[in-house]
Every structure is written in structure tokens, then in C-alpha cells.
Structure 1
Amino acid sequence: MTTPSPQTPLAARAISPKIATSLADTLKALADPLRLRLVSAIAATSNGDCCVCDLTAIADVSQPTVSHHLKKLKDAELLTSERRGTWVHYQIAPARRAEVMALLSAVTPLEEAVDAENETARVEALRTMDARVTRLAEQLAAELSDLHPDVIMTIVRESYAGLARTATVTQHLIPLTERFARQRLADLVRDRAVAPPQVLFVCVGNSGRSQLAAALTNQLSGGRVIARSAGSRPAASIDPDVRVLLQDIAGDDVDALYPKPLTDDAVRAADVVVTMGCGDVCPVIPGVNYEDWAVGDPALASPEGTAAIRDDIAAHVRTLLDTLLVPQATEITGKVPS
């Protein structure tokens, strides 16, 4: 290939007006992310033919929206269509196929470069997070000398993995992992003979009922009962209406009530395990009492309904505290509190 001499007119080195016009029209027709994806999907089929029923699955939009963009591509003469029975099949227009395929081929290296960059960033993020988790475990092992470092490392890693499954924001994941791991480690060494009563509230999502029950137990017992909550399939966050109520109950401690997974050690450490009428089943541990409270689900309720659910849970909590705290007070004073 020879390099044009400085004397060569610039117009001679530019693409022709005819090709420029055709290419500009094509680029204009494809200047929409969904249209570009539709064309690339059709081009990727083995026979260059694609049913509209398959194209509607490409993006989370309605079928009329897909049909609108397909019509735009037909108007630009990039696609042709043919009705077969009840469905319409689309193909790239034969006269434009070489042009379209050339454009798509030019995009492929860019997409591969972006994928490679994203994969590199993902690997680096995992490596960084792994180092932070390891460092956290080492810090806790230095602080908690009554537990073997390997046990602490296992608990920290399990806690991180359990929270990471549903995390939508990772910037607070390490502090939450530390809080969750500390709770689990405390449960491992809990001595029932001297520790205050402990209650574990369990629901599927751990995003509403169980948090309300735990917060109300902590508030109404004045700290004389330890309340935990967990879920068999914890949600990513607390229900917004429940969070408003929790802020009134727990104040600044509301962040400690984040959704967390149910673990065997939490069940073993509890004196009472309460399921919240959601069909959850917990491991049966000897010495642990089990209750099921048939209360409504805040996720299905209005703000007023959620407040009523809170009041219902509070009544259950008061009854539970009567059974947990009366024996304790009788043992100390010899009298039943009035």
C-alpha cells in the first residue's frame, strides 16, 4: 500500500459522496442501542433470519416497542420482513448486508476490549476484597484469643459470602461482615447459664417482620433480652415502610438490623426461636424452644397496615417477655413483679 503524496487532493482520499450518504443513513438508523442489538441478533443467526417472537426477548421492553424499532429499520431499508403464519420473520436486506456486517465487525473488537477490561476489573476487585476479608479475620483473631484463628477465618469468610449473595452496594460490605461475624462468634461462645435470654426471630426475607420483632424486644426488655433476626433467603434491604418504623424504635441502631442469612450457630445460641408466620423451618436443636407467630407481611401492606403489624408484633413480644423475664426476676428477688 502506497502513502498518498502531499500533492494528492484531500477529496481524492475521502470516501465518495454516494458511499458517505449511504453510510450516514445507516448510522442514523442504527443510532439507538436497541436497534443496534436487534440488527446484531439477526446477523448472528445461522440463516440470517429471525422471528419477532425471539427478538422481543432481547430487552426488557414491550413488544410494541420492539415492533416500532423494527419498522424504523425497515424504513431505512436495512431489514426486510416476511409473514409466516402468525409470526413475522426479519432478515437483513441483501443489498445492505455487506455494509451492515462491516459495521458490526468494526464494533466486535471494541466489545471484546470492554469485556476484557470489565473482567480485569472484576478479578482485581475480588482480589482486593479477599485481602480485606483476610485482614479482618486476622484482626479478629488477634482480639478474640479464646477462639482458634482457623475458626474465626471460616466464620468471617462464611459471613462475607452470605452477605455478598444479596448485596447491591458493596462499599459497606466489610463493615457489615465484621458486625455479622462478631455476632456469630459471640454466639459460638455463649454460656446459657450466665448469659441473658436470647431470642432469634426468623422470616424468609429478614426485611420486615423479624426486624420489627427484634427491635421491639430490645426496646421493651430494656436490654435484658438479646434479640437477633435472620432469614432463610435474606433480601437486599429492609422494607422502606418498616425502616421508618424501625427508626422510631431503634434510632441510630437501625443499621444493625440489616438482612442477614440464617445460620445454625444462631439457632444453637438462642433460648427461643420465633418464626414469623412465613412457613420458614429452622434446624431443631435440643434445649431450644420454638414458636410461630401468625403475623401479617409488611411487604403486602400499606403504611397504615404496616403500623398495625408492628402493634400486633409488640403484643406478641410483651407476652414472650413475660415468660422470659418473670422466672429471672423471681429467682433474684423471690417475688413476681407486678
Structure 2
Amino acid sequence: MSTERIDLGMRVAKHAALADAARLRIVDLLTLGDLSPTELQAELGMASNLLSHHLRTLEDAQLVTRHRSEADRRRSYIRLAAGALDGLAPGAEYGTRRIVFVCTRNSARSQLAAALWQQVSEIPSASAGTHPADRIARGAIDVASRHGLNLPDAAPRRLDQVLGEGDFIVTVCDNAHEELTGLGGVHWSVPDPVRLGTSEAFERAYEDISRRIDDFVPRLTAA
């Protein structure tokens, strides 16, 4: 069995163990500190036999461990296992030398995405368009400025001028994604702020892309 499948199996076991509200509450409490079964009983208002069942389930899933008190060996403490919550979110999935963000005009969404990526990852980024505009949209420049983000002082570029071997593509535009079917990569369906042209539309696009990048950075490793 591969390491990837073993890791997936452990993630499944952890998620299954945490699917119960009482067990999730126990883990929440243990993130703050160690507790004895008696203390957990008092906190949860739970019968000792039911608590024992939940603790065994959490131990089997390698989420918690127990150890004897140094003061009173008849007493034990439950603690969160080392790395207990590791792997609950998806791990690294892709390796690449560079990430390329693509939209139709390369005037807003892809430019913002490439600039945001450079702030949080050592993997190089670039942006391109399937049908580039003459210049970066004013609204994109303004929203970037409001957030202290520097957009490149360069004209939008066509995808075939940018894309190289080993690049990982992220389309941030439905039109570009549907035009590039079969090219691989992933797609983020970010509404076009240029269409509305309001500062609110650009702000929503910025926040959407920023959140997606924060979630995606751990999934990508340098090849």
C-alpha cells in the first residue's frame, strides 16, 4: 500500500472519529490543555462508560493519548496526541516549477492572483490571457493599491507567450477555462469585476482570489 493511501486512511479514521459532537468537543477542550477523565466528565456532563467509549475511539484514531499522573498513579490525564490534527486538511497534491494564472483579458483577476501568490509562496508565478487587453484595468490597480499589493507595470500578455514546460495553470475566468479545456490544472470560477466596473466588484474578486490562494498554497510544492 502506498504512503498516499495510508495517509488517506488515517485521515478517514480521524474524520470519522471527529464526526461525533461529543468527541469533537473533547478534542476542542484538549487543544487548551490536558484533562483527567473525571474533569472531562464534569465538563461534558457525561456518564463514565460513555466517556470511556469516546476516549477509546479517539485513541484508536491516534487523536489522543493518556498518561499517569506523577502525583497520584491512580489518576490519568488525557492529552491531544502529537500531530493529532495534522492531515485533516488536504495535503500537498501537486508539484510544479511555476504557477500561471489565466483569465481572458489578463487585466484584472489573473494579475491580482499572480501578485498575491508572490506574497505567500516561494514558487514563482506569472499571469496571462487568452485574449489580452491593452492594459491592466484601473479597478484592479486601485484594489491592489488599497491592499498594499504591487501589480507589475507591464502590458497584459498572451498565454502562448508565457506558458512553459512544467507550468501549472490556474484559470480564474470561466471563459478562459472553457476555451482551454484539456490543458489541465485547476479552475477558480471568479466573477469578472471588469464587467461591473465598481470598486465593490473588484474588492469581491480580490477577497475571493486571496482566500483561494491561502487555501491552495499548502497543496502545491516546488518541483
TM-score (norm 1): 0.34
Task: Considering Cα pairs closer than 8 Å and 6+ residues apart, tell me whether 1 or 2 has the greater RCO.
Answer: 2
Q: Per residue, is there more helix in 1 or in 2?
A: 1
Larger CA Rg, structure 1 vs 2: 1
Q: Per residue, is there more strand in 1 or in 2?
A: 2
TM-score (norm 2): 0.50
